[in-house]
A and B are shown apart, each in its own frame.
Chain A
């Protein structure tokens, strides 16, 4: 790639080294721990599904049954008990799920022959892994069949009705209007639920529950549009909150294509315990990597809560950290949709040049990553006409810097959840801008000592100073002291801390072992 910003390579390498050093102690911690949702995600990969009459999902029932006997037992992992119940009862996975939902306790059976358990587990690992690989192969086949039919960058639209069947209508319309990516935004409460609801859902607030059945319904609907439009439509959901890895598992099984998945978002913006989040994000990313799912990281959040000009370096620092945590989970660069956003105060003089600079900087520092670029939200107002103009500039910067995933801005961002026509106007705006500047990226360079080039160098320098500070203090302490996003999160505070699990000497998780093998993470 030809550079337009002339960023010093040794400085960029140094920033990456800092990120590696910062994440090393965190990685040690992650390797020694599991969590209730990691165990439940594993059970889901094994086939545990369904819910009891009170709506408590089978994976939660199993984990709760184990903890009820003795919390320490979970240090061996939950899989062994579930597989043991399969072996001893001779039930199929489906039959056992029904029995567990009806009240059967897997702990009522003593552990049987280890070899039989391992044999059964190997069969289950193979079964889920093959399903995930088939999904991946299907996606690759369709992307190949419809190659060059998607926009560049991919146009990303959100639906959020609360009712999966209504979402389907909106999503199909959005895809027909030109969207390449459909995200079904989640109901506002879901990130803090320590379980994943079961079955199709029709009631949510500001979004729709992520359930495996909802995933399946939307996937089937979008597959129809794919054939009609001769364009692969990528489906996105949120592997975030207290059930990160479970949602990743469901998405892998139902062929989702992207997942919002950030290594620190839950800690900073949802007050989820830091240890829990780090453990959960690792397992969720391993699943995403295995499934070929592109993650979208949440750097835009740093800019909506703080000043986008002053705090630009927090975005780049977070990108380096997300990248490093991604690599540690076996996630290659091409699956890392690192995030950033167009959120500067529109009254800043030369604001456009700074946005252009920072977007180009992300492009050059992360050349293989499908960067996820987020539209203006903070300074959007009831003036929908001004909003449309701001989105036009955003569209311009995105195309001018060759971004990967382009979340379309809505002119009614500050007014209501998007109307169908709002999405149409967004697509129209983007396709107009992007077509008219198709080869801008290759054709235009920046002045070597100009505002755009200088800005990128400044942000990189600030980022390195910040990473040096974090490296000196340590990651956990840095979060506790409020270095990230100006929020302080105590180490043992936040939601979900009690769901953290030590891995005992006999910890057994054949699904994790398989993921590590598949991803080349075994030394």
Chain B
């Protein structure tokens, strides 16, 4: 048992910083409403330290609350794709040569109407992101980045054509659950074509978790803070595992 609470400046003081908007005009009554709201969330103590009008009908609050709630840290199970540390680019290339013995083909796209290439580019483009080279730079990978607004149908068709080992589906827009819809359609299409087992299916995006992705039928989901090395490591290990079966 390892009980933890938020830490302000003293162990277990339970201090939490909050900011939010209320659909009322700014003033003493609004601040009282903000304080009562915070207390209603179970905080034992609340100080509204700042308020400001956003318009005649909206106001902004900054508040500090004190919570007595705690969790047992030892009982936590993280939603992570892999507990192991990812290999570097060179290690991945070496692993492919040793364990797979041919080039690994990866196709990626941002699907549906989602126009954001930033995620798939960070993972795939030569340059990569934040000093982690993208998959296009890997000598033992053949990477195709189809860009954004790619229909699921087209992505699957292309992947089959180039004999892909893995398909990366990027989803950035999550408004109105479009990502769930898109990802579900992708897996259903693959299954309808009897192609699901042919590919390692990877989902990614700032608000994609491994849990969600696996629930929707992907092999894995990568969220915020993922680099190409993480994705490449997962794909090649999965392929080696499949090969051994």
Contact = CB atoms under 8 A, between A and B. Distances in A.
A358 interface: no
B224 interface: yes
B175 A192 contact: no
B58 A205 contact: no
Interface in B28-71: 52, 54-58, 60
Contacts of A7: none
B107 to A, nearest CB: 17
A205 B60 contact: no
B-side interface mostly: loop
A502 B186 CA distance: 40
Interface string B202-227: 00001000000000000000001000
A449 B125 CA distance: 36
A479 to B, nearest CB: 16
Given A205-B173, A424-B60, A188 B55 contact: no
B113 A382 contact: no
A176 B206 contact: no
Contacts of B60: 420-421, 424
Contact of A304 (B19, B118, B224): B118
Contact of B54 (A173, A191, A377): A173
Interface in A401-422: 414-415, 417, 419-421
A230 interface: no
Contacts of B175: 162, 205-206, 417
Contacts, number: 64
A435 interface: no
A306 B128 CA distance: 9
Contacts of A271: 147
- Choose among B58, B115, B224 the residue with the greatest number of A CB atoms under 10 Å from its CB: B115
B228 to A, nearest CB: 16
A189 B127 contact: no
A176 B52 CA distance: 13
Interface in B191-245: 206, 224
A381 to B, nearest CB: 8
Contact of A424 (B54, B56, B121, B224): B54
A89 interface: no
B173 A206 contact: yes
A20 interface: no
A428 B127 CA distance: 36
Contacts of A176: 54-56
A454 interface: no
A350 interface: no
Contact of B21 (A191, A305, A421): A421
B173 A188 contact: yes
B114 A307 contact: no
B21 A420 contact: yes
Of the four ranges (under 10, 10 to 19, 20 to 34, 35 or more), the interface on chain B belongs to 20 to 34
A189 B149 contact: yes
B54 A205 contact: no
Contacts of B118: 304, 377-378
A428 B19 CA distance: 15
Contacts of A428: 52
Contacts of B117: 269, 305
B55 A177 contact: yes
A173 B113 contact: no
A188 B115 contact: yes
A421 B54 CA distance: 7
A180 to B, nearest CB: 16
A192 B54 contact: no
B236 to A, nearest CB: 26
Interface in B166-180: 173, 175-176, 178
A378 B147 CA distance: 17
A305 B113 contact: no
A61 B114 CA distance: 28
A458 B118 CA distance: 28
B173 A424 contact: no
A172 interface: yes
A421 B19 contact: yes
Interface string B106-135: 000000011111100100010100100000
A15 to B, nearest CB: 26
B149 A192 contact: yes
B115 A173 contact: no
Contacts of A162: 175-176
Given A188-B115, A271-B147, A419 B206 contact: no
A18 to B, nearest CB: 27
Contacts of A191: 115
A187 B112 CA distance: 13
Interface of B: 19-21, 52, 54-58, 60, 113-118, 121, 125, 127, 130, 147, 149, 173, 175-176, 178, 206, 224
List 3 A-B pairs, minimum CB-CB distance, nearest first: A189-B113, A173-B55, A176-B55
Interface of A: 162, 172-173, 176-177, 187-189, 191-192, 205-206, 269-271, 304-307, 345, 377-379, 381-382, 414-415, 417, 419-421, 424, 428
Given A189-B113, A421-B54, 19 more contacts: A162-B175, A162-B176, A177-B54, A188-B149, A191-B115, A205-B113, A205-B175, A205-B178, A269-B117, A305-B125, A306-B127, A345-B130, A381-B224, A382-B224, A419-B21, A420-B21, A421-B20, A421-B60, A428-B52
